[in-house]
């Protein structure tokens, strides 16, 4: 007997049981019916036939055994990775837009970022960037309480062959 056939037989037997009881036991029947439905839903959710499939769109292995990249995949290229704001007044908020291009042959996705300080906040595209397309990563720096020379780094993580790129901003914060 197949799994589907067993389920059909169980359901028909259950409905016979459900409607053959006396009306005085309605609460018990409703409870049993609810448990039966919950069990059937659980069983149906466990029978996912695609659970062992691998989605090749998320597998990226651009490196060979000797560590050389194959040239396949996404690649992020920046016009520049460092910007110096020069002298700014303490408390001033400044921004810079780092321009980049996907020079690879697969979609580029920026997966996360980290910064050396909460005073440095990046904004970046959340979706996939197709090959040949580009975008900007806008970095805002709040100089409040940061007197003196400041070097802040922003690490951008992507699905590209060189996974992390470090962007740097510099500023000399002058007391007002």
pLDDT tens sequence across 65-97: 555 555 578 899 999 999 999 999 999 999 999
Indicate the fold that domain 76-174 takes in CATH.
Immunoglobulin-like (2.60.40)
Question: Whose CA is closest to 149, among 98, 92, 90, 97?
Answer: 90
| pLDDT tens column, 108-161 | 999 999 998 889 999 999 989 999 999 999 999 999 999 999 999 999 999 987
0.85 surpassed by pTM = no
Nearest of 1, 132, 114 to residue 75 by alpha carbon: 132
């Amino acid at each position: 007997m197949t799994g589907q056939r067993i389920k059909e037989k169980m359901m028909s037997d259950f409905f016979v049981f459900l409607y053959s009881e006396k009306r005085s036991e309605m609460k018990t029947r409703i409870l049993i019916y609810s448990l039966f439905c919950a069990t059937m839903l659980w069983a149906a959710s466990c029978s996912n036939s695609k659970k062992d499939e691998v989605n090749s769109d998320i597998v990226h292995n651009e490196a060979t055994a000797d560590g050389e990249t194959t040239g396949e995949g996404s690649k992020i290229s920046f016009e520049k990775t460092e910007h110096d704001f020069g002298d700014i007044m303490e408390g001033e908020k400044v921004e810079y837009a780092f321009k980049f291009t996907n020079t690879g042959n697969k979609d580029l996705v920026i997966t996360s970022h980290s910064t050396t300080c909460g005073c440095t906040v990046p904004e970046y595209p959340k979706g996939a960037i197709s090959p040949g397309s580009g975008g900007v990563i806008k970095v805002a720096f709040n100089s409040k309480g940061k007197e003196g020379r400041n070097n802040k780094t922003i690490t951008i993580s992507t699905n590209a062959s060189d996974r992390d790129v470090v962007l740097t901003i510099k500023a000399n914060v002058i007391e007002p």
